[in-house]
Structure 1
């Protein structure tokens, strides 16, 4: 989660809220890719989670990476809680210490892969000296929620207090899961709508392809993507498949109205986060917020409120794909290639929309509900999700070929789809491979995952 926005320009009308999203429109020639990923740190020697404080804690890791890269510290009440890069990227920490790179906007998947490699190398140089490794699993396989250290970030304290009021698994989401997200641009409101609909309908395909969280509390949890299932019982007001996005006439206005109905978490003034959890943004705009009477909404408030919505695809001034478990470096780059191939070529976007055009709202919800457990075997109308995934990958490959973005060796971006094509060919996700390891060479222990499921 990147640094909170700081813009004190007042917001007084609903039109201004709509215009804030419209300001994200870009010429197609300027479309970029942003990739974010989280990774779970652990002490290599003991397989224990890494606390914030101490000579070998998360703060020491952040400070070391800052020295290594020259990135500037981001502070919250005197605590280093992230790093800001010169090109627009950032490093932040999630509530349970998950170490996140929010990549800078880059031109193609080759640049994403290079950025990722450089980040992992710099982080490893520091982490090795602290005895810290990083899991490439999307849920901590061993530690309980109580054993997971909480990070000193003010907004997380507010969220942690509110989560149990609206769902039973929100704290697990915060403390014990890790994801990879891809951000894509849009040229206009109609372009945004087409991309949002295609990516929402296909988000369960990504969940199945990237499923990688089969262990909890030291044993199999019954799911291929437990992370994805956790989101189904986190907070129904701010999560889900956004069925209204498929309604006739949907656009920025419809999304704004959904956000206005979504309860707030906080209002930030200066360096202070004020807990207004459950309050209405409409009341803040009218100066009638019970917790802060006479205080009015600003651009910062709206941007920060938008960042606390967690649907399967999130609209900000770009579209954020949110359905995938984190995996190794190859899988992180594959996530970027998958969505860029589907969404940045017009013929491929048309084909992606055609692929899901026959699905009803009820069918989309049923697929979303089933995929965390069943993965590629999830039934969809007239076939399996695995068959849809194969077709989606073929569409993405065609889109990347049409883009014809080549690296120094002359290779186009289709090279990054190879891990996904191997999964579809085998009909097995990484989660299924690791469950087989658990039953076989791991001898029904998750301890080997700290060696075999680790960022190199």
Structure 2
């Protein structure tokens, strides 16, 4: 989840919010890709989750990484909860259950992204190994109960934890027991944003199937290939889901702002204090009528922070966040931005993706969304399967990356990062199915093997 913003500029009108989103438009020469990934920390000797405090806790790990990187610490009161690159690029933050997140810098190509990911994982190992901590890339924690999962000392998460059970049955599971990979991408104009948002929303179920990697809960198969994605179906439907209004005629920055204003607030931050305003109306804060904060009016910080509490499958800020993938191994971390860069940053590939999805109905998109957590690539669609669609989409991404022709020092273009996805489509076996096969055969139902075989 994103870092909180600090900007006391008053918000006086809806137009100001629209202009803020529109200010993200930039020429293609300035387009970048940012990649975020989360991972579960565990003790190498016991495979237990890592608490915040203690001689081998998350706090000690963050302090060690602060010393290694020289990055600036982020505090919630007196607790270190993250690190930020002093140049304003990347950041390390904590998810509610101690999931360790790298929010990567906006980079020019996927080669740079993969160097960033590999460098980060090496730095984490350097600091974590002396503490006896390892990390696992999965979409959900494989055997810890919710009660066993530690809670990080972040005030905004306390507010969310109180609110989530009021608006859904799986919100706490989402917060404490899931991990994801996300990519952040740019747009050149409102029309470009609209096309990219529509393509991205429609294709999220396809991406969920390709990246399905959460088949275990509390030590045994849970009946899903992407349990993480299933959890999102009843987390907080006011702020999540397939945002069908994106496909309405006239969709643009104004419509997204209106939707965001309709979503209830979680908190408002004043100084170092998070005020619980869960369920409050942001319009009341603009007007100075929010009963939990009498006399206070909205600031740019409030709006930017509110946008980070919206969780649709694709999120709009001054860039587009694609949010449908389970956490996974290193190759998969680089594959996600490669897929979306190939589709988004080549107009022919973007148009080709739009041709695939443009006549899908709201009902068809939702049906796909609800089916893929269980059946993934085998999910039927019209006279085809999700696997067939995924093959076409990856082909478009490959063509887009080929035309981009961003080469590394060995002369390889970015298509190299699609190989893990092409292998999944070729075999028809998702990472979740691979794990289930290993669980039934070589692991002999011992879920502990996953920590040995799949740790970073």
TM-score scaled to structure 2, two decimals? 0.99
Q: Which residue in the other structure is 2:245 paired with? A: 244
In 2, Cα distance between the equivalents of 1:239 and 1:427? 29
- Which stretches of structure 1, 4 residues or more, deviate above 4 A after TM superposition? none
Post-superposition CA distance 1:77-111 (Å, at most 9, x none): 11000000134100000000000000011000000
Post-superposition CA distance 1:364-411 (Å, at most 9, x none): 000000000000011112210000000000000000001100000010
Query: Residues 2 and 308 of structure 2 are in contact (CA less than 8 Å); yes or no, is this contact kept in structure 1?
Result: no
Query: Residues 2 and 90 of structure 1 are in contact (CA less than 8 Å); yes or no, is this contact kept in structure 2?
Result: no
Q: Which residue in the other structure is 1:109 paired with? A: 110
Task: Specify the SS of the correspondent of 2:42.
Answer: strand
In 1, Cα distance between the equivalents of 2:442 and 2:368? 33
In 2, Cα distance between the equivalents of 1:165 and 1:374? 29
Q: Which residue in the other structure is 1:213 paired with? A: 214
In 2, Cα distance between the equivalents of 1:419 and 1:243? 31
In 1, Cα distance between the equivalents of 2:118 and 2:445? 33
In 1, Cα distance between the equivalents of 2:162 and 2:272? 20
Query: Residues 266 and 276 of structure 1 are in contact (CA less than 8 Å); yes or no, is this contact kept in structure 2?
Result: yes
Q: Which residue in the other structure is 2:129 paired with? A: 128
Task: Specify the SS of the correspondent of 2:315.
Answer: strand
Post-superposition CA distance 1:91-144 (Å, at most 9, x none): 000000000000011000000000001100011001100000011111111110
Query: Residues 400 and 413 of structure 1 are in contact (CA less than 8 Å); yes or no, is this contact kept in structure 2?
Result: yes
Q: Which residue in the other structure is 1:30 paired with? A: 30
Shift of 1:194: 0.4
Q: Which residue in the other structure is 1:15 paired with? A: 15
Shift of 1:357: 1.5
Shift of 1:76: 0.6
Trace 1:60-79 onto structure 2 (pairs within 5 A). 60-79=60-79
Shift of 1:182: 0.2
Q: Which residue in the other structure is 1:334 paired with? A: 335
In 1, Cα distance between the equivalents of 2:318 and 2:298? 19
Task: Specify the SS of the correspondent of 2:234.
Answer: coil
Q: Which residue in the other structure is 2:161 paired with? A: 160
Trace 1:38-187 onto structure 2 (pairs within 5 A). 38-87=38-87, 88-187=89-188
In 2, Cα distance between the equivalents of 1:350 and 1:141? 39
Query: Residues 52 and 150 of structure 2 are in contact (CA less than 8 Å); yes or no, is this contact kept in structure 1?
Result: yes
Trace 1:340-419 onto structure 2 (pairs within 5 A). 340-419=341-420
Q: Which residue in the other structure is 2:5 paired with? A: 5
Q: Which residue in the other structure is 1:271 paired with? A: 272
Q: How many residues align?
A: 455
Task: Specify the SS of the correspondent of 2:138.
Answer: coil
Post-superposition CA distance 1:427-454 (Å, at most 9, x none): 0100000000111111112110111121
In 2, Cα distance between the equivalents of 1:383 and 1:12? 50
